[in-house]
Amino acid sequence: MAIKRIVSLALAAFIALALAAFPAAAESAQPDLSAARYGMEPFENPVTIRIPVFDRARDDVPDVSSNYYTKWVNEAFGKPLNVTVEFVPITRTDTMGAYNLLLAGGDWPTVFMEYDWPKVTQWDADGALAKIDVEEFAAVAPTWTELAGGLEQFAMFTMNGEQKVLPALRPYWDTNYTYATFYRKDWYEQAGIELFTTYEEYVDAMALFMELGFTNGKPILPKAPFSENFQVYGDSEWPRSEEEWAMYSDVSVAPLPARGAYYSLKKQNSEYHLGLYNTEFELDVEGTGSASQAITDFINGEAYSYANYLGADMPDLTAFYENNPDAKLGVIYNNTVYDPWVDAMGGHTVPQGRATNPAGMFVGFSSKASADELKAAYMYMEWVAQPDVLFFYQNGVEGETYTMSADGLPEIVGGYTGDYWMGYGNNKDYWCIAIEVRTVGTIEQTIAAISPKGLPQDFTQELIDNYYILKAYANDGLLYVDPFFSTNIDSVSEYAGDLKAKFQEYATALVKCDPEEFDALYEKYVAEYKAAGYQEIMDERLAAYQNGLSTLLPDVAAGRAPYAPSDITEVVTTKYTIGQ
């Protein structure tokens, strides 16, 4: 409860400050946001800091390292302080690979930024991260510190007793409400069937849609290549074994030996042989990038669903409606439906899923950075955390990228590509150094702000309902996070690269193999996977958990408290079918 209390207080304070700053930010196209305005003094000698920014391989956003906002940062923050800010593109589909290239080439960024804790511990094991003097940081960046939850929040994320990263604020962290799955609601209407409530109904519906020719002969389901981020919460046993959770829950190395992985891959094998996937899905190397075949199929009206993080401007949805003007989409409220197929094999008996981290972006600093470079990076974070600076970063220029509503809140102009064209997610990959979600008032107002705009359909209420469903699941103990280890898991750093390649090979082969050969092949691959280093990872994680160097599962998920499901129909306002 301490995490929620700290984040709630920080968020409330931030929202109050931000709302008060709205008029100041909207007075002109280029408000006075000079760093000097906030009492920051220039360095005697020039300083250059290198800040990472995700490059998502999209052609529907401006150049991530050179655009109006990167130039604005250097004009408003850098120039008054004698600082140059360089933005370093980091490939989103291979974050660690991109950082490793920079490290190997000696071209280190000043700041390291990542969502996933195991990757942070890997940087620490590699000696890339500087030890942070939190008192010194807080003195230079008091606004950022307060927004993040204060020193008490910092202390939750130490490694071997040392502070190597700082946790940016993630509002409403116990639900993943900023990510949504859209589906072809009109296909159900045309087929004369209801939205599925079990996995078996889901598979039957997919087969029927293909039989009716809705996909023009294409496979109906998106299937990206396998990666290390292979989450098996939805197919895991219930309640969870806390020791297995500690060994297997991770996004940096796929948990092939986990029973949930067995269930998930066996289901995908069945789906593959039903013709629901592209037979060469492993070649779709762009993954979630704009060139992904799965996204292209959806935009062309030939796929059932599309999932992504929400934003007022979602180019993929805009393109979808341009190609399919009569189509009707809906939001799937719960992707983890009741699954008698898994239950029959001893798997889960209630839906469960992964919550987001209690922190947003983990921010660390290069162990090779000079004192001036570190201080300049601290100052940049403090500047971004100023409410009016953050407002401009997130919304842009009034009358161009946003307008003000009658209740005094900014509304993003969908599809804008003018002089003040914003980056992915309304510049999210820049301002996430301070906060994970663009917030504007209440949770309902925040969701309204990030609900996609400029489309034939308004999904705001459906997305609000989705939040409250997820919130109920979180309160019931069904949504929980991966373990946070307060010590390095050295074997992850040693074996993660090789295991990633092996998992891609093994998982692809398991999905494509003859169903009768699946079990024997799975056992063979698990043995090889363990021998290639995963057994050492399992052993090291388990030892850390047993030595008290890990967070714990919620009592309900671990079976220490009874599961008492909420009545979801009491917490939402629209009519829908819930799968559970």
Could you give the domains of the chain? 2-174+358-438 (3.40.190.10), 179-354+459-570 (3.40.190.10)
Write out pLDDT tens, residues 212-231. 999 999 999 988 889 888 98
Distance CA 313, CA 395 (A): 11
Write out pLDDT tens, residues 58-84. 888 899 999 999 999 999 999 999 999
pLDDT at 131 over 60: yes
pLDDT tier, 54 (very low <50, low <70, confident <90, very high otherwise): very high
For 386-404, what is the mean pLDDT? 95
Q: What does the pLDDT read at residue 568? A: 76
3-state helix, strand, coil in the chain (%, to 5): 45, 10, 45
Q: Which residues have a Cβ under 8 Å from the Cβ of 184 and sit 6 or more positions away?
A: 209, 214, 304, 305, 327, 328, 329
| Cα 397–Cα 307–Cα 178 angle in degrees, nearest 5 | 50
What letter does residue 58 receive in the DSSP assignment? Answer: -
Q: Is the dihedral of CA 537, 540, 543, 548 positive or negative?
A: negative
Q: What does the pLDDT read at residue 29? A: 58
* CB hemisphere CA count around 98 (13 angstroms): 17
CA distance from start to end of the chain: 27
Contact in structure between 263 and 345 (CB atoms under 8 Å): yes
Distance CA 234, CA 299 (A): 27
* The pair of three-digit structure tokens given for residue 484, joined into one six-digit string: 């946070």
Distance CA 507, CA 513 (A): 10
Distance CA 436, CA 360 (A): 5
pLDDT at 114 over 80: yes
pLDDT tier, 20 (very low <50, low <70, confident <90, very high otherwise): very low
Distance CA 463, CA 3 (A): 25
Q: What does the pLDDT read at residue 205? A: 95
Of the listed ranges 60-69, 184-193, 233-242, the least confidently predicted one is 233-242
Of the listed ranges 250-264, 284-298, 441-455, the least confidently predicted one is 284-298
pLDDT at 50 over 60: yes
Q: Which residues have a Cβ under 8 Å from the Cβ of 262 and sit 6 or more positions away?
A: 522
* Pairing of the two strands 353-354 and 479-480: parallel
pLDDT at 446 over 70: yes
- Of residues 414 and 221, more confidence is placed in 221
Contact in structure between 92 and 229 (CB atoms under 8 Å): no
* CB hemisphere CA count around 76 (13 angstroms): 22
Q: Which of 23, 5, 11, 4 is nearest to 443 (CA)?
A: 11
User: How many C-beta atoms surround the C-beta of residue 8 within 10 A?
Assistant: 13
For 497-518, what is the mean pLDDT? 96
* Pairing of the two strands 353-354 and 362-365: unpaired
For 540-552, what is the mean pLDDT? 94
Separation in Å, CA 107 to CA 38, 97, 102, 363, 446: 31, 14, 5, 18, 38
For 297-317, what is the mean pLDDT? 93
pLDDT at 8 over 70: no
Q: What does the pLDDT read at residue 191? A: 98
Contact in structure between 59 and 420 (CB atoms under 8 Å): no
* Residue 370 DSSP SS3: coil
Share of residues in the chain with pLDDT > 70 (%): 89
Q: What does the pLDDT read at residue 366? A: 98
Write out pLDDT tens, residues 25-36. 333 456 889 999
H/E run at residue 230: none
Question: What angle do the packed helices 490-512 and 259-273 form, to 10 degrees?
Answer: 30
Contact in structure between 526 and 162 (CB atoms under 8 Å): no
Give the neighbor-by-neighbor strand order of the sheet with 179-184: 305-309, 179-184, 329-331
| Cα 433–Cα 437–Cα 439 angle in degrees, nearest 5 | 120
Q: What does the pLDDT read at residue 98? A: 94
pLDDT tier, 200 (very low <50, low <70, confident <90, very high otherwise): confident
Of the listed ranges 239-248, 279-288, 536-545, the least confidently predicted one is 279-288
Distance CA 426, CA 437 (A): 10
pLDDT at 391 over 70: yes
pLDDT at 10 over 80: no
| Mean pLDDT of all residues belonging to the chain | 88
Query: pTM above 0.85?
Result: no
Write out pLDDT tens, residues 315-331. 999 999 999 999 999 99
* The pair of three-digit structure tokens given for residue 75, joined into one six-digit string: 């004009």
pLDDT tier, 580 (very low <50, low <70, confident <90, very high otherwise): very low
| Cα 387–Cα 392–Cα 395 angle in degrees, nearest 5 | 115
